[in-house]
């Protein structure tokens, strides 16, 4: 019996607020439904789910045959988007990990946290344990990390301070990376806790992690310096042909920032992986307040185990 995992950033999955948006929303439901049908996954991680009722419509009207149970919803960010896990396998446990403030490593024991109040976990981490049949229980977590957009310094009133020099621009990029790294450390702590349940623990982290496989944040999630025996997470998309190994476009180029990362006990059962990027198009840079789109700017990523 196969066990299939998939992750998909839906991009602004909101219902229509006006008649002008209705065609795009109808097309988005069809777009997402077709991707889910093609994946036929047992467990699906979704990102950028804005409207819970719209997800209910998708499940009830477009993909009822896939048999997904009640979604596990994460907490939403200020924009109203959240991570969600769908499962048609029995869910043995379900929780959502949240944090008002993410800690950051200090140099000496007793040092004060350098970023108190500056590193929130903006979107909660859904975490389910599912009965995967012959594979046994599998921990599945999904995350949507901070984007690669720069984080500019702000005045006390919250107003951004424009970057004036190359050093300013570099600092803004570094702040962005620090946020992703803090999120990655938090998730790696959850992975370590799941792995501590036994030497053969099967754990998966998947989602839009907004960075490439060789980046520091993704290496933190995978386990920097970890040997396979001590919990190094494998990237399932290593099984995808290099020319197809992309899940979005950025700056006109192809990027893989949507990942399925699995523990050694699960990696040993990996059969295949794929990225549904045949019809993926470049949406261009993010624009606040842009109209809803009929498709996502990310491709669904899928991995199959047996």
> Taking a C-beta distance cutoff of 8 angstroms, is the pair 293, 12 a contact?
yes
- Confidence at 162, pLDDT banded by 50, 70, 90: very high
Average pLDDT, the chain: 96
Residue-range domains of the chain with CATH: 3-305 (3.60.10.10)
* pLDDT at residue 229 tops 80: no
* pLDDT at residue 228 tops 90: no
Segment 189-196 mean pLDDT:
97
What distance in Å separates the CA atoms of residue 17 and residue 291, rounded to the nearest whole number?
A: 10
pLDDT score at 227: 66
3-state secondary structure 258-296: EEEEECHHHHCCEEEEEECCCCCCCCCCCCCCCCCCCCC
Segment 283-302 mean pLDDT:
92
* pLDDT at residue 230 tops 80: no
pLDDT score at 221: 98
- Confidence at 39, pLDDT banded by 50, 70, 90: very high
Segment 172-191 mean pLDDT:
97
What distance in Å separates the CA atoms of residue 72 and residue 54, rounded to the nearest whole number?
A: 15
pLDDT score at 288: 81
* pLDDT at residue 286 tops 90: no
* pLDDT at residue 252 tops 90: no
CA gyration radius, the chain: 19
Segment 102-128 mean pLDDT:
94
> Taking a C-beta distance cutoff of 8 angstroms, is the pair 118, 182 a contact?
no
Instruction: Look at strands 82-87 and 43-49 and give their pairing.
Output: antiparallel
pLDDT score at 224: 84
* pLDDT at residue 289 tops 90: no
| 92 contacts: CB under 8 Å, gap ≥ 6 | 128, 129, 130, 131, 137
The residue to which tokens 């991707």 are assigned: 35
> Taking a C-beta distance cutoff of 8 angstroms, is the pair 207, 241 a contact?
no
What distance in Å separates the CA atoms of residue 189 and residue 187, rounded to the nearest whole number?
A: 5
What distance in Å separates the CA atoms of residue 55 and residue 263, rounded to the nearest whole number?
A: 30
pLDDT score at 139: 99
* pLDDT at residue 98 tops 90: yes
The residue to which tokens 């077709």 are assigned: 34
pTM comes to: 0.95
* Phi, psi dihedral angles at 302 (to 5 degrees): -135, 145
pLDDT score at 225: 81
* pLDDT at residue 204 tops 80: yes
Query: Within 13 Å, how many C-alpha atoms sit on residue 296's CB side?
Result: 31
Segment 55-79 mean pLDDT:
98
- Confidence at 1, pLDDT banded by 50, 70, 90: confident
What distance in Å separates the CA atoms of residue 92 and residue 161, rounded to the nearest whole number?
A: 48
* pLDDT at residue 37 tops 90: yes
């Amino acid at each position: 019996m196969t066990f299939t995992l998939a992750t998909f950033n839906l991009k602004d999955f909101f219902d229509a607020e006006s008649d002008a948006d209705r065609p795009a929303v109808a097309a988005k439901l069809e777009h997402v439904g077709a991707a889910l049908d093609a994946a036929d996954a047992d467990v699906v991680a979704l990102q950028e789910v804005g409207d819970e009722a719209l997800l209910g419509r998708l499940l009830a009207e477009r993909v009822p045959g896939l048999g997904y149970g009640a979604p596990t919803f994460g907490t939403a960010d200020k924009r109203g988007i959240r991570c969600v896990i769908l499962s048609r396998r029995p869910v043995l446990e379900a929780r959502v990990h949240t944090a008002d403030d993410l800690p950051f490593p200090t140099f000496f024991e007793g040092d004060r946290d350098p970023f108190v109040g500056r590193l929130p976990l903006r979107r909660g981490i859904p975490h389910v344990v599912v009965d995967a049949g012959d594979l046994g229980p599998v921990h599945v977590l999904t995350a949507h990390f901070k984007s690669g957009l720069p984080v500019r310094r702000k005045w006390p009133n919250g107003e951004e301070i424009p970057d004036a020099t190359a050093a300013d621009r570099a600092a803004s990029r570094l702040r962005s990376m620090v946020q992703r790294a803090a999120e990655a450390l938090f998730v790696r702590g959850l992975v370590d806790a799941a792995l501590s349940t036994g030497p053969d623990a099967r754990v998966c982290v998947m989602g839009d992690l907004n960075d490439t496989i060789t980046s520091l944040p993704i290496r933190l999630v995978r386990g920097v310096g970890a040997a396979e025996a001590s919990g190094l997470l494998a990237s399932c998309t290593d099984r995808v042909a290099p020319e197809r190994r992309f899940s979005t476009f950025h700056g006109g180029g192809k990027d893989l920032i949507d990942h399925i990362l699995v523990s050694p006990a699960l990696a040993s059962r990996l059969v295949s992986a794929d990225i549904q990027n045949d019809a993926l198009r470049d949406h261009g840079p993010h624009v606040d307040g842009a109209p809803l789109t009929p498709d996502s700017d990310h491709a669904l990523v899928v991995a199959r185990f047996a």
